[in-house]
Chains A and B, each alone.
Chain A
Amino acid sequence: MKEFEYLKPDSIEETISILFQYGQKAQILNGGTDLIVEMRDKIAQPEYLVDIKAIPQLNRITYNKQDGLNIGATVTLNEISNSKIVQTNYPILAEACKTVGSYQVRNRATLAGNICNASPAADTAPPLLVLEAKVNIISLVGEKMIPINQFFTGVKKNVLKKGEFVTSITVPPIKDKWTGAYLKQGRKKDVDLATVGVAVVCIRDEVRIALGAVAPVPIRAFKTEELLKGKAIDEALLEKIVKSAIAEVLPISDIRSSKEYREEIIKILLKRAILQAKGGHTL
């Protein structure tokens, strides 16, 4: 790794000040499971590394029925998947966190890190999309809240500008009974990147669908959701849905999978996710 200066602020104020001061030269060190590999491979070469793990407000999970769930930036994926609060109230998020990497990786990797890394295949993205999460961002200019489906702007690109960083992710409460599913297809059952990821949430007549690893960004399939609104699910509708979903995405052939196979898997996983959600445990 190239040499850099390591900074460990213990407050948000100090952090945004540092980020403003160093601009492009600074990068946040959170879980490090993506960044350190990039630094080892010299893809990332920050001059200043800003470790945010000493900031106390960032490592909390809070929940109440009115405001929903708030997950601090430094909360790890294992902490989320092991949290009774998340398991009870947002089970698909707990499940999705569990599918990232290995147990060791999940002890360091964070939800904020997973979305900021903005891989099209990020496992936490499809669930966050269907749960209509919001990303809390702060900078010297102030605080703002960006809906998750505006957060990803391209392959490994997010909406953050220099000087901004994510302090937490808010998952709003769902006022009605709902069920959901997150299904991931990889080359292997464990410890693999998603070649296709599908998240579905069913709230009464509404069905929300999000797809990962099949477009430059993880996406909500809004057009497809329109087809489902208020309709009973049958084989014919499922066929229509999967066709529509494929039209909304842009799967590619890469080292992990071909475009054609991804399209096949989208069809299968989407059907299975909807059926699982429909037949699943209600909240």
Chain B
Amino acid sequence: MLKYVGKSEKRVDGVKKVTGYVRYTDDLKLSGMLYARIKKSPYPHAKILRIDSSKAEKLPGVKVVITGKDVPIRVGLYLEDKTFLAIDKVRFIGEPVAAVAAESEEIAEEAVSLIEVAYQELPAVFNPLEGIKPDAPLIHEDLGKYKHASIILPQSGTNISNHYKIRKGDTEKGFKEADFVFENEFYVPHIQHSAIENHCAIAQVDPEGKITVWAGCQSPYAVRRTLATAFNIPLNKIRVISPAIGGGFGGKAGTTLEGIVIPLAQKTNYRPVKLNFKREDIFVNTFVRQAMYAMIKTGVTKDGKIIAEENTFYWDGGAYTEYGVNIARAGGYASTGPYDIPNVKADSICVYTNHPVGGPYRGFGMSEIHFAIEQNLDIVAHNIGIEPLKFRRKNALKDGSSTVTGQVLENVGFVECLDKAAKDIEWDKRIKKVSATKYRGKGIAGMYKAPSMPNNVGSSAILKINEDGTVNLLVTAMDLGQGSDTVLTQIAAEVLTVPISRISIMTGDTDCTPYEWQTVASRTTYCCGNSVKRAAEDAKNQMLRLASLKFGISEEGLELKDGQIISKIYPDKKVKIADLAMGLTMPDGSGVHGPIIGRGAFIPPDVKDTDKETGQGDKPVAFWTFGVQAAEVEVDIETGEVKVLKISAAYDAGKAINPELVCAQIEGGIVQGLGSALFEEMKIEKGKVLNPSFVDYKIPTVGDIPEMKISIIENPEPTGPWGARGIAEPCMVPTAPAIANAIFDAIGCRINSLPLTAEKVLKAIKSKNK
């Protein structure tokens, strides 16, 4: 009987947050702090001829001015293609070319305006389909020289920074054998995470040369590593502290402005430097979601079995694709969606353009490809006369199915999710026409996702038992709002049999909290959860050993229950955790062992590389999460406005460690998905972002929310803690295609690009009526 796991325990950080007490990076004020601003490129692609910062340096109150030559080392997570300030040339409008630290933001801003930069404009690329042409201007001439992870395959001499391939079976044969072959194209634009907290970083260098960085970051250790590389500093001389984070969604993963404050702080005579991005800066200077063109060719039999599929994805990676290359890869190894297709050819190609930098966004490629995949399925189903839900069930991945990489799956809850989501939206009940101008429709979309991470990255946890039996839990998994602090505490509580209130979690300090690869990929409950479980078990085992020594009973005869080690047979033989916390005192007064420190580390087991040519591999990922959303919409056929009335969502979480928090995540994911479906689009013209503010980049407000019905399915993931797998990203993925499919059901119009604006819908209605 589980006591804490599986319960909807209250957030451990709720009171801090609801009182406004918790500090985010911009809330921190250090004494002597200086303020930084950046000088940005006005051109999408240009050589830097000359930078003259002399006027800026002379401005009273200015302490430091730096340019690219001060930060020359190339860095990147999967491909080292970026520098924190531009060197020799700029590759997107807004790229930082210089930075200033001054006594106030106003002075820094004025100093920035005094820096003179001479550019020579170069022809630019604004579309990946243009970027792959043989005569396209090269954005990274030295691509062939860049260091990269072995899983990434950049094509030297081109704008292609990764080309991931799947060659499964024989698609040529498959298409010949198919009764019908369909080809469809789709497009998703760049969008922005729009976390409400802005990006902010502070750096300070001490007289011993140790650098401390405060930044709300999803990945303090990744930031530490990148900064150490960029500045040629040993890891023990950089400390990254992440205060509370006001939303990440991938936008605070990786390293962005942290690399600008350090070279400034190195020249300020030990004064800290803060760089705060305004909302306009965030749109242009932090990660955006890559835009993507998808071409899908589907070969299907007349009774509805998909037997061949060819997927081509062209990703608009932006000016630097150090992160985007892996998104293209993830798109590749998930390219068919959660369906069992024997013959698959996929090419997922990441292309440089002179657009803002593409990077991780909740879903890591899954939202983008599923918009294409799930609409494509509906189109095919309608064309061959098979009901879309039935079509999905027929082709769904099930236990024993093999994925696009040839991995054979178990514990697949996809069909169960389809059935539940369909039931909750009352799939078979349709009210088509509400009035002369309002039509309704229902649509469904499935998804799957695996954590996209290198096979060998790990998590760890340290657990200290205090003298009074309370616990300090140290991890570097970051609570971005998803509730990891609470869930990890629940896991520790369950193993140690100690109430949640007696466990305090601390996160986000690379000097004190142990290694965590990143808080991304929906991996935290699974990876760090397993680490915490192991750390608690390690502490428990130490205490069992000591109790065994104390009582002379073998460890097998003892158990940890209600905060005590107790004999299974002799109930009077018991000792509290508190009395073992500092070690054991023997009857003769001597002490044994010392303080109990539980250590746990975890790497997902047996995850291997795939073949470079065919993309085949029998376990390329740690686990797959399946989910489904169904939408009911109402379309005003005179204005094209779409109102989403209801969304039902069913996700196979394996084991919901905290069911309320899982539901809360899913609700948030649905609304974020709705935003990408109906409103969100970065309008970029010749490289310039035209709508870098909430005035013209609209995200959902409270008036936009549909009725939401959430279901959690639990088919355990055997390697997850109590069977848990991640749902943080999956819950945003199918919303947009579910809505698009519902629109088709309502008005018979297919819109193959996002967002599904009223204008596009009306245009589609009018074309159909012609």
**A contacts B: CB pair < 8 Å:** yes
Question: Which residue of chain B is the closest to A190 with respect to CB atoms?
Answer: B703
**CB of A158 closer than 8 Å to a CB of B:** no
Of the candidates A187, A190, A258, the one whose C-beta lies within 8 Å of that of B679 is A187
A268 at the interface (CB under 8 A from B): yes
Interchain CB contact under 8 A, A255 and B696:
yes
- Judge if A193 is at the interface, Cβ distance under 8 Å: yes
Instruction: Check B639–A268 contact: CB distance below 8 A.
Output: yes
> Contacts A188-B704, A191-B701 hold; do A264 and B762 have CB atoms under 8 A apart?
yes
> Given A189-B703, A190-B703, A255-B683, are A261 and B759 also a contact pair (CB < 8 Å)?
yes
**Residues on B with beta carbons closer than 8 Å to the beta carbon of A187:** 679, 698, 757-758
Q: B610 contacts the other chain (Cβ, under 8 Å)?
A: no
- Min CB–CB distance A179 → chain B (angstroms): 22
Docked-complex contact A188 and B679, CB < 8 angstroms: yes
B691 at the interface (CB under 8 A from A): yes
Q: Which residues of B contact A264 (CB under 8 A)?
A: 639, 762
Interface residue? B638 (CB, 8 A): yes
Q: Which of B683-742 contact A (CB under 8 A)?
A: 683, 690-691, 695-696, 698, 701, 703-704
Q: Contacting B696 at CB < 8 Å: which of A185, A189, A256, A268?
A: A256
Beta-carbon contact of A255 and B691 below 8 Å: yes
Docked pose: A257 CA to B704 CA in angstroms? 20
Partner of A188, one of B639, B690, B701: B701
B:43-86 near A, CB below 8 Å: none
Smallest CB gap from B691: residue in A: A255
CA distance A193 to B683 in the complex (A): 17
Measured in the bound complex, the distance between the Cα atoms of B757 and A261 in whole Å is 11
- Across chains A and B, the number of contacting residue pairs, with CB separation under 8 Å, is 33
Shortest Cβ distance from residue B712 to the other chain A in the assembled complex, whole angstroms: 31
Give chain A residues whose Cβ lies under 8 Å from the Cβ of B638.
268
> How far is it, in angstroms, between the C-alpha of A191 and the C-alpha of B694 when the chains are bound?
10
Smallest CB–CB gap between A120 and chain B, Å? 15
A197 to chain B, nearest CB (A): 14
**A192 interface contact, C-beta 8 A:** yes
Interface pair B762/A193, CB less than 8 Å apart: no
**With the chains together, A140 CA to B757 CA distance in Å?**
50
Give Cα A142–Cα B629 distance, bound, in whole angstroms: 66
Judge whether A261 and B696 touch: CB under 8 Å.
Answer: no
A251: min CB distance to chain B, Å: 13
Closest chain-B Cβ to A74's Cβ sits at a distance in Å of: 25
A193 in contact with B695 (CB, 8 Å): yes
Query: When A255-B683, A257-B759 are in contact, do A190 and B639 touch as well, CB less than 8 Å?
Result: no
Interchain nearest-CB distance for A261 vs B (Å): 4
Interface string of B428-472 (1 = CB under 8 A from A): 000000000000000000000000000000000000000000000
Q: Which residues of A contact B639 (CB under 8 A)?
A: 185, 264-265, 268
Pick from B683, B690, B696, B759 the residue with the most CB of A within 10 Å.
B759
CB distance from B112 to the nearest CB of A (A): 12
Q: For this complex, into which size category does the number of interface residues on chain A fall?
A: 10 to 19
Complex Cα gap A257–B696 (Å): 11
Query: Which chain B residues lie closer than 8 Å to A191 at the CB level?
Result: 701
Contacting residues of chain B (623-665) with chain A, CB-CB under 8 angstroms: 638-639
Residues of B within 8 A of A189 (CB): 703-704
How far, in angstroms, from A265 to B761 measured CA to CA in the complex?
Answer: 13
List A contacts of B695 (CB < 8 A): 193
Q: How far is the CB of A49 from chain B (nearest CB, A)?
A: 17
Closest to B762 in A: A264
Docked pose: A244 CA to B721 CA in angstroms? 68
Tell me the complex Cα distance, A187–B701, Å: 12
Judging by beta carbons under 8 Å apart, are A190 and B690 in contact?
no
- Which residues of chain A (230-258) have a CB below 8 Å from chain B? 255-258
When C-beta atoms are compared, the residue in chain B nearest to A37 turns out to be: B695
A258 CB contacts on chain B under 8 angstroms: 759
Q: Digit string of B751-767 for contact with A (CB within 8 Å is 1, else 0)?
A: 00000011100110000
Contact residues in A for B679 (Cβ distance below 8 Å): 187-188
Q: Residues 63-102 of chain A: 1 if any B CB is under 8 Å from the residue's CB, otherwise 0? A: 0000000000000000000000000000000000000000
**Complex CA–CA separation, A193 to B704 (angstroms):** 16
The answer to whether B759 touches A192, judged by C-beta atoms less than 8 angstroms apart, is no
Residue of A at shortest CB range from B695?
Answer: A193
What CA separation (Å) do A237 and B678 show in the bound complex? 34
Q: How far is the CA of A261 from the CA of B641 in the complex (A)?
A: 12
Given contacts A185-B639, A255-B690, A257-B759, list 16 more A-B pairs with CB under 8 A: A187-B679, A187-B698, A187-B758, A188-B698, A188-B703, A188-B704, A189-B703, A191-B701, A192-B698, A255-B683, A255-B691, A255-B696, A261-B758, A261-B763, A268-B638, A268-B639
- Residues on A facing B (Cβ under 8 Å): 185, 187-193, 255-258, 261, 264-265, 268
Q: Could you list 11 A-B pairs, sorted by A, with CB under 8 Å?
A: A187-B758, A189-B703, A189-B704, A255-B690, A255-B691, A258-B759, A261-B758, A261-B759, A261-B762, A264-B639, A265-B639
Which 3 A-B residue pairs are closest in the complex by CB-CB distance? A190-B703, A261-B759, A268-B638
